[in-house]
Amino acid sequence: MEERMDFRILNNGSFIPSIGYGTYKTGTEGETEQAVANALGVGYRLLDTAAYYGNEEAVAKGIRASGIKRTDIIITTKIWHTDAGYDNTMRAIESSLKKLNTNYIDIMLVHQPLGDYYGSWRAMEELYDQNVLRGLGLSNFYEDRLIDLLYHCNVNFDVFDFKLTNIDMDVMELLDQQDFLEDHHTAPGLERLLQLK
């Protein structure tokens, strides 16, 4: 009997697997490529990477080696704070698209609330409207920055990514009031467990 992956629905109506494979500190380029291919081979369909991890090209090679169609895989990547701001984010997304060997990214996150992340969000909203980015989200935001961006954005974010060790209960209550998919992780490189609130 075939096992079926559990999925959640994002604000934009798209589906995302409940469990994904994180690629932070997965090793060398070859090790990361093999790890991604293996993860896809055993059924993972959500991959998490980031510009900061320096492994987007290895993730793309792992996808290619797996033989799994790109349209069957959800790729999440992140804008690092050194690429904050509208123009820098546009360049960073173009770089990620090239490194990931794809013409769209399923979920793009602002990795940290540093620098001009409002400019980053505007760039991401523009590319979302062009269907280059299919879902938007935030990572490592504390309550004040989360609320501020929430009330000053045109496109609502779909995913809020955080470590279980540094989340504030006030943020959890805020997320309960919104329709965000929360991305919890407990340690670098481990599976990410997603829960719909």
Active-site annotation holder among 21, 44, 53, 117: 53
Only one residue has tokens 């991959």, namely: 47
**CA 31, CA 68: separation in Å to the nearest integer?**
18
Cβ 72 vs Cβ 99: under 8 Å: no
The pLDDT confidence band at residue 197, using thresholds 50, 70 and 90, is: very low
The pLDDT confidence band at residue 185, using thresholds 50, 70 and 90, is: very low
Question: For the residues 133-147, what does the mean pLDDT come to?
Answer: 82
**53 part of the active site:** yes
H/E run at residue 93:
helix 86-99
The pLDDT confidence band at residue 147, using thresholds 50, 70 and 90, is: confident
Question: For the residues 29-57, what does the mean pLDDT come to?
Answer: 96
Question: For the residues 64-77, what does the mean pLDDT come to?
Answer: 96
pLDDT surpassing 80 at residue 160: no
Backbone angles phi, psi at 144, to 5 degrees: -65, -45
- Does the reported pTM lie above 0.85? no
**CA 55, CA 100: separation in Å to the nearest integer?**
9
